[in-house]
Amino acid sequence: MRANGKEIMVREGTTLHEFLVSAGYDTSRVAVELNGSVSPKKTYKEVMLKDTDHIEIVSFVGGG
Amino acid sequence: MPVKVGIAGLGGLGSNVAVMLVRSGFTDLVLADFDTVAESNLNRQAYFRKHIGMKKTDACAEILKMIDPDAEPETRDVRLNEENISGVFGGCSIVCEALDGAEAKAMLVNTLLSEMPGTYVVSGSGISGWDLPEGIKTRHVFKRLFVCGDGISDTGDMHAPRVTVCAGHQANLILRLIYGMEDEKIE
């Protein structure tokens, strides 16, 4: 799988939520684009990742 | 269709972005914030001492009209949430994300990109402290999402110089989108 431009291994059947948590992301602070479409937050625990996926993750920090 | 730009949050980023857009001749704005101007805001936000206690939507609109008397910004005195965002920014083809908290930023960006197909989002993330501003950049991260900032420095300890640098990145990118200078990248 390609994540933020880097090739990484992902176990078949891993959910988007599991991947984000294992990679150290706080899921309440991120936005995710999977294969060119934004993943709504409520789908994170249902979406299964595949080896061919392209994922972009943005993690926001506070201050405005 | 004429372009309308929404500004979500009228703090250090949003108030300065609004001022820069109006100075650049772009006035078709929707200004959204629930807050009032506090003395502690004056170190980085576009307001003046006389605005303390005033709604940020009203104070910001007043400043914009001082720059351009023909500016008629729409104001929305509301706390943004998943339910009201698409209504507040209905008709906006670009929204500037300028909220304070990281969770609120993520909620706004997710809701806009999911519920408003075709709308571009220009977010600010990472503006605190006194580091040299070279780390503050504009990044095209998703098809319809640009993020300006250093991406690292978190809430607290915010000052005019770096906040204004980031607001400049956001205003510049918004103007590039309005005038078609990003078309090659976004098509």
CB pairs under 8 A between A and B: 82
Sheet hosting strand A54-59, strand order edge to edge: A6-7, A2-3, A54-59, A30-34, A37-38
Number of domains present in the structure of chain B: 1
The interface pTM score, or ipTM, of the predicted complex is 0.95
Chain A contacts of B98, Cβ < 8 Å? 64
Say which residues have a Cβ less than 8 Å from residue B23's Cβ, sequence separation at least 6: B67
Banded pLDDT at B187 (limits 50, 70, 90): low
Give the tens place of pLDDT for each residue, B83-139: 999 999 999 999 999 999 999 999 999 999 999 999 999 999 999 999 999 999 999
Domain coordinates in residue numbering, chain A: 2-59
Q: What is the pLDDT of residue B68?
A: 98
| CATH number of the domain encompassing residue B163 | 3.40.50.720
Structure tokens given for B168? 């400049």
Spatial neighbors of A22 by CB under 8 A, at least 6 apart, are none
pTM: 0.96
B165–chain A nearest CA distance, Å: 12
- Asked if B151 contacts B124 with a C-beta cutoff of 8 angstroms, the reply is no
**Residue span of the structural domain in which B120 resides:** 5-186
Alpha-carbon dihedral angle through residues B143, B162, B97, B187, given to the nearest 10 degrees:
-20
pLDDT tens-digit series, residues B15-54: 999 999 999 999 999 999 999 999 999 999 999 999 999 9
The class (CATH top level) of A2-59 is alpha beta
